[in-house]
Structure 1
Amino acid sequence: MASHEILGGKVLVYRRENSKRWQCSTRINGRNWRMSTGEDSLALAKEFAEDWFFRMKAKEKGGGLKDQKTFKDAAKRYLEEFDVVTGGTRNREYVGGNERRLRLYLVPFLGELGLSEVTAGKVQEYRVMRYNTSPEGKPPAKNTLHQEIVTLRQVLKTAIRHGWLTHLPDLSMPYRSAEKISHRAWFSGDEYKRLYTATRNRVDRHENGRFQWHAEQLHDYVLFMANTGLRPDEANRLQYRDVEIVIDEETGETILLIQVRGKRGVGYCKSMPSAVFPFERLLQRNLPKPEDLIFTGSHVMMFNAILEEEGLKFDREGNRRTAYSLRHTYICLRLMEGADIYQVAKNCRTSVEMIEKYYASHISTSISAAAVNVKRKTKSKKQIIEHAKRNAHRGV
């Protein structure tokens, strides 16, 4: 770490190895104070540090210098205000996840630091800590760490709104190169047929047995998910009163009109006709009340066992298939059938950009051979000579 003392050692100007900007620190009233200069130039950073030091001393004489708010203070205020800022629209599980990330990881590491001390270097130290102290030596997943940094950013934005912090530090991952975009694991048409055939055979195997109900539920779950495109968490929250059997006015087919409650609030989904029979079987089997959940319990063990038996647990790129793969299967099969990508995105409550990035670029039918295999007509030698003669005659 490069460092320089100014004002007779009263102020230290320093720059961390992974940062381009200089920071400054001093000690007043027995407490260390730090501040980012926001400057890449050492000369400009020293000027900023001198001005900052004298302003701090002026505040000290006037009695206006107070201890700055800590990260713990900002985290507490963030949790208190989150529902107000978002209008109460965010899912309770999402809010609970943010509270858990703060309580278990972020506050224990950053809580006692002043907000100005939460620098890009400290954030990188946090990443290193999470990788080195994970249980069983297994580092956290990339998405897990990303969610923690997102929560950290939201807390710091809360501090900025209250004037406790002037600007956000650089929270980006250093030394990061562009990532290869991989497609989501899904079942091709033949693989999907093998899957639902296997779940149907599992029902026959457990007929009049202990696990008959579980096998029947799993079979209908697979068909329902692959013909609606719901996320697993959306399906787990789905109640019978959220689903209505209707006749679609445009196609004349019988489909399900589903009121979906997910991470983006309440949305609607129109199913494929093949989702109707599984839902009717669920009604006949469970004789539910309107507020009962459609899919109760977990079928993970049986689902994974079937995937292992059929050799479908991993796709050819090594991506692990889960219940989420049924949603990906719905999207990919709809695109392969020529469905409008905007309507698919709207029905799945996602964006066109997400579908183009993770689905459409890996499907062969998304490429028009007629538009790609264009051949420019070339002129024969005779045509070239005649064209030259005409130009010569015109004096061109």
Structure 2
Amino acid sequence: MQKTTGAKATIAQPKHRTGATEKHYIPGYPTKLYIYKLQASRYWWARYFVGRNAVRKSTKTDSKQKAIAFAKEFYDIITYNQRHGIAATASATGFESCLKELLKAEKARLKRGEIAKGTYDNFVYRYDKFITPHFRNVEVREIDYFALERFLNTLSEQKLTASTISAYMGLIAKVLSYAAKRKLIASVPEFPTVTKKDKARGWFTTREYRRLWSAAKRYAGQRMEVRKYKDAKGDTQTQFINTNAKSGKLGTVMRNVDMTEDMRRLIVFMCNSYIRPTDIKFMKHKHVDIVRGEYTFLRLRLPPTKDHSDPITTMEKAVDSYETLKKYHVEHGLIDGKSCDDDYVFLPQYKTNRDYALKQLQRQFEILMWDTKLGTSAAGEDRTLYSLRHTAIMYRLLFGEGINTLALARNARTSVEMIDRFYAKPLSGEMNIAMLQSRRRHRNIYDGDFEILQRRESLEKVALA
């Protein structure tokens, strides 16, 4: 490649005010790179040819020395972009470029098994949803506290929870931290604070659990219609009604939902196994071991979720639920009882679309919430399939003897901090009820009861007199 020695190019007088009036090549760089001046601008401009296409940019300075330094940086950015498959017109120091490189690194971590696919997919979804559209044309060095505050205000308009907003801000910090490691910025800027108020998880009391299970048993085998209609005020409402109903149907049918035996067994299984709803999508019979000995339980060797990969140990009741459902599937020809290792435990008929399988269970659960009127707890927490997992953890804290929160957290694939913040803290009084209602056999008058102490001293003085 031909390199220049910094010569000034001789050019004819331009016929148009956008034509170059002065042009200088950059010493030691290809002749395709040069700076020039226009009649239409007092600033120097940098230009570089990528193939047959010219890429140009204003240096924003009338100093030749500064313009040459800018052109060198301009050249470095373009060649870097070419090596990394970034459009020549994009900036290597732009937020979008840094994000692209970060996601390459995250994808490599995914291949190494360091993060779960769901975690990676969630990253991509959230970056595409709000972050990239907002910062697409922004240089990372331009992102300061106030730029972050403006984005935070934009998120607040979306009616997101504080936890979700905090997660979005954390993803931006991830990109800026990556940019700092690449020396694109000196340091990660200070972030505005997002105040999060811990909210107890929506779980079911034992009485509510029995109501839920009874409803699931009653509905199993029925087909329900989900209908939309306008009420007297013109607001859209939802109606759940049996497809065989002869009257009472309102509005338009949106979908049919088959209430399954799987839903009934899932309620018992999740309340005795700590699994997340997303585990349902991936759990196959090969992931389940039945252990019988001094204790009877299931050992669930599930694919990693949320950076946790340890096996889960269930309560004994989960064994009955699992075996009963497996027998049901065999009897109805949904699985082969002799070779079912690669069959899914719940709704095995949906082998190729497990997202749809989970969606079907969520829709069935929604109907049960409507029927039992348990969709919202007394404290105002919404109840979803996740509430079954919350119930499993809460029951161990309430009814377990000498529960070790570290062991519980590891078995539930979460952290001790999460157990304390969202489960144990709201139950602190109930978990220690024996201590709170205890009574002393012998009261020591010296343990802070000054009134009694003073009265006793007064009596002693009278006796001495």
Category of TM-score, reference length = shorter chain: 0.7 to 0.9
Aligned to 2:430: 365
Task: Look up the match of 2:105.
Answer: 81
Partner of 2:301: 259
- 1:346 paired residue number: 410
Partner of 1:235: 280
* Other-structure match for 1:122: 147
Q: State the AA in 2 paired with 1:370.
A: M
Alignment-derived partner of residue 103 in structure 1: 128
What is the rounded CA distance, in whole Å, between the counterparts of 2:369 and 2:70 in structure 1? 72
Question: Residue type of the partner of 2:114?
Answer: T
Number of residues paired by the alignment?
Answer: 330
CA distance in 2, matches of 1:116, 1:108: 18
Q: Supply the AA of the counterpart residue of 1:202.
A: Y
Structure 2 match to 1:377: 444
Query: Within 1, Cα distance between the matches of 2:126 and 2:198?
Result: 27
Aligned to 1:302: 364
SS in 2 for 1:182: coil
Shift of 1:228: 0.4
Structure having the higher helix fraction is 1
Which residues of 2 match residues 326-345 of structure 1 at below 5 A? 326-338=388-400, 339-345=403-409
Matched AA of 1:362? P
Deviation of the 1:213 alpha carbon: 7.7
In 1, the alpha carbon distance for the partners of 2:319 and 2:167 equals 37
1:365 partner amino acid: E
Give the CA deviation at 1:385: 6.2
Conservation of the 8 A alpha-carbon contact between 1:203 and 1:212: no
Render the CA deviation track for 1:112-157: whole Å, top value 9, x for unaligned.
222110112112222333455x5xxxx3343333332222111111
Mean Cα deviation higher: 73-82 or 218-227 = 73-82
1:271 aligns with 2:314: yes
The 3 A distance-change label for structure 1 pair 354 and 388 is farther
Q: Please tell me the residue identity of whatever aligns with 1:258.
A: L
- SS of 2:312 mapped into structure 1: strand
Q: Classify the secondary structure of the residue corresponding to 1:332.
A: helix
Which residue of structure 1 aligns with residue 160 of structure 2? 140
Q: Which runs of 5+ in 2 are unaligned?
A: 1-42, 46-57, 78-91, 224-242, 245-255, 348-356, 446-451
Q: In structure 1, list runs of 5 or more residues that go unmatched.
A: 1-26, 34-53
Report percent identity of matched pairs: 21
Q: Which moved more, 1:188-197 or 1:102-111?
A: 102-111
SS at match of 1:257: strand
Matched residue SS, 1:260: coil
Structure 1 residue 161: deviation in Å? 1.1
Which residue number in structure 1 is paired with residue 384 of structure 2?
Answer: 322
The CA distance in 2 between the partners of 1:244 and 1:192, in whole Å, is 26
Q: Work out whether 1:153 is the aligned partner of 2:178.
A: no
Aligned to 2:3: none
SS in 2 for 1:359: helix
Contact 2:219 2:259 in 1 (8 A): no
Q: Larger Rg: 1 or 2?
A: 2
The alpha-carbon distance between structure 1 residues 116 and 212, as it changes in their structure 2 partners (threshold 3 A), is closer
Contact 1:186 1:321 in 2 (8 A): yes
Q: Secondary structure at the match of 2:300?
A: strand
**Cα distance change of structure 1 residues 115 and 269 upon mapping to structure 2, 3 Å threshold:** same
Partner of 2:187: 167
SS at match of 1:227: coil
Corresponding residue number in structure 1 for 2:289: 244
Q: Flag the 1:319–1:271 CA change in 2: closer, same or farther, 3 A.
A: same
1:19 is aligned to none
Report what 2:211 is aligned to: 194
Instruction: Give the Cα separation in 2 of the matches to 1:307 and 1:125.
Output: 39
Query: What is the rounded CA distance, in whole Å, between the counterparts of 1:90 and 1:205 in structure 2?
Result: 40
SS in 2 for 1:365: helix
With normalisation by structure 2, the TM-score equals: 0.63
Question: Higher RCO, 1 or 2 (CA under 8 Å, sep at least 6)?
Answer: 1
TM-score when normalising by structure 1: 0.73
Cα distance, 1:164 vs. partner? 0.9
Report the Cα distance in structure 2 between the residues aligned to 1:111 and 1:236, rounded to whole angstroms. 34
8 Å CA contact 1:59–1:65 kept in 2: the answer is no
